[in-house]
Amino acid sequence: MNEPRCLRCKTVTLVELEPLDPRITFFECPDCRRHYALKPGKQLTFRWRHPISLALYGVIFDHAPTERVADAVASFLEQRPAEELEVFVREIKLELDEPTQQVRDILDCRASEQELRDFLWLFGDHLEQSLGALRP
């Protein structure tokens, strides 16, 4: 088997981390420090707690998550500092501009890949606009 490489850095071989679950292999990129998960029969994805996984968490079971974008953004604005949310926006935009994986597989979401990417686009856009309104 080929050694897994960072989905963002492309050429950097990932370092396997201590197993927390025997069904999932976890990795970290030694350069960018992004964390990944690999489930049997699936492709490499961002690990839980990556900004995209957190954005998708509230809509795991939704078939039409775009209908809940405003509520999801409002919840994030209440619970997280602006600096952290700016990282969310950057990571979401990066994945949408340069896709690396099936975001649906990160949390085994029910919605289609396209619906989830639409949700992420709206989520990132609304979050960015809200953060802009908060800046002096």
If asked whether residues 121 and 68 sit together in one domain, one would say yes
The one-letter amino acid at 9: C
The pair of structure tokens assigned to 62 is 């939704």
∠ at Cα 116 (112, 122), nearest 5°? 145
Domain count of the chain?
2
Residue 18 lies in domain:
1-47
Predicted confidence (pLDDT) per residue in 9-54, tens digit: 999 999 999 887 889 999 999 999 999 999 998 999 999 999 999 9
Q: Are residue 22 and residue 56 in the same domain, yes or no?
A: no
The arrangement of strands across the sheet holding 15-16 comes to 15-16, 25-28, 35-38, 45-46
| 75 and 30 together in one domain | no
Please give the pLDDT value at position 1.
Answer: 53
Nearest by Cα to 50 from 97, 102, 91: 91
**Segment 68-93 mean pLDDT:** 95
Residues 64 and 118 in one domain: yes
40 and 103 housed in the same domain? no
Per-residue confidence band for 133, with pLDDT thresholds at 50, 70 and 90:
confident
Q: Report the SS3 class of residue 118.
A: helix
Residue 128 shares a structural domain with residue 68: yes
